[in-house]
Structure 1
């Protein structure tokens, strides 16, 4: 198969637990680009969380916010925000339980509760700047994704509150919140359509629960050796751990680099 484009998740895929890109992965992606294959970041992170990483890899195309915000070569090509009424309902419900929300807009993010310990624990694990504090930010700005900061034991409190939303846990104190039918796959499809590339000509690398749809939507879905076990059934191939050459081995398996 003549693969033309490769989508890479960030956390646990491009970067390890220390949030560093292994040198072998940097070199493998450079080889891929030198062969004329598009390299794209596909992440749950917002655009302002990935700038330095993208620059390090020489990548200027990305699917961010779990498919809600897509940029190709520096130009925004797709946006999908959460319906305002769904945000409002979740805001009111989270307040009843004193659970913090982080509102992720196009260029900034803000927390509903100042210095909430669950929020601090989760966001600091990403090694990014902490959000500002503005409980009303969502009222006047499109919100593409939210973090809901609660324990797994409290997830049931939200299961039927807003039918239009879905929740994906990525940290012991945090879940991504996005439209119920949204995923990285939707953003990938928007980019493939623009480039007139068939899904069968695309590859995706991932490791987390938010990568299920993405791995299923492309011609070759590759799970990292350190992947969440629930992701493995969605993969066509399981490569090595992120710290053990997983990116290079996966690209070699696909026949894209030596």
Structure 2
């Protein structure tokens, strides 16, 4: 199979636990680009959370916010915001349970309360700036994703109240909140359609629970050796750990590197 495009998750895939890019991964991405293979970031992060990484890798195409905001060579080609009514319902219910929220637009993000300890802990783990405070940000801007800050299991109180949303845990104190039919795969599908590339000619690398749909829709889905155990059955191949040549070894398996 001749693969034309590769999608890379960021956390745990391109970067390690310290949020550092392994040098061999950087070299591998550049070699792909030199060979004319499209290289695209596919992440749950918003664009302002990964701009330095994209710049270092020379990547200007991405599927961000778990498929909600897609850019090809610097130009937005696909956008899907969370319905305003769903955001309003979540805001009201979160207030009843004292769960803090962070609202993510495509260019900025704000928390509904200042310096909540769960927000500080979770967002700081991404090695990015903390959000400002604006409880009404969602009323004035398109919201593509929300961080819900709660302990494991506490998200179940939202199932009946806001059934059109789903919750994907990425930190012990935080979850991504997105529409039930949203995933990275939706954004990837939009980008592939834009490029007139068939899914079987695409490769995707991931390690987290939000990568399931992505790995199964492409021609070759590769899970990192350090992946969440529940992800690995959805992959066609499991490569090595991010710090043990995982990207390079996966690309060699795909026949994209020598």
Which interval holds the TM-score relative to the shorter structure? Answer: over 0.9
Aligned to 1:140: 140
In the alignment, which residue of structure 1 is the partner of 2:63?
63
How many residues are matched?
A: 258
Match of 2:12, SS state, is coil
| Alignment of structure 1 residues 39-188 onto 2, 5 Å | 39-188=39-188
Residues 134-165 of structure 1: CA distance to partner in whole angstroms, max 9, x if unpaired?
00100011100000000013122112221110
Give the TM-score, by structure 2 length.
0.99
State the match for 2:222 in structure 1: 222
Q: Kindly provide the CA deviation profile for residues 90-133 of structure 1, in whole angstroms up to 9, marking residues without a partner as x.
A: 00000011110000002100001111111110000000010010
Q: Distance in 2 between matches of 1:33 and 1:142?
A: 33
User: So what's the TM-score if we normalise by structure 1?
Assistant: 0.99
1:37 is the counterpart of 2:37: yes
SS in 2 for 1:161: coil
User: Aligned partners of 1:249, 1:102: CA distance in 2, in Å?
Assistant: 36
2 CA distance for matches of 1:127 and 1:32?
A: 27
CA distance in 1, matches of 2:170, 2:122: 9
Separation in 1, partners of 2:207, 2:230: 10
Following TM superposition, the consecutive aligned residue runs of length 4 or more in structure 1 with deviations greater than 2 angstroms are none
- Matches of 2:12 and 2:212, distance apart in 1: 14
Secondary structure in 1 matching 2:142: coil
User: Which whole-Å CA distance do the structure 2 matches of 1:162 and 1:103 have between them?
Assistant: 16
- Partner residue, 1:6: 6
RMSD (Å) for aligned C-alpha atoms: 0.5
How far apart are 1:58 and its partner, in Å?
0.6
Tell me the residue number matched to 1:28. 28
Per the alignment, residue 196 of structure 2 pairs with 196
> What's the secondary structure of 1:6's corresponding residue?
strand
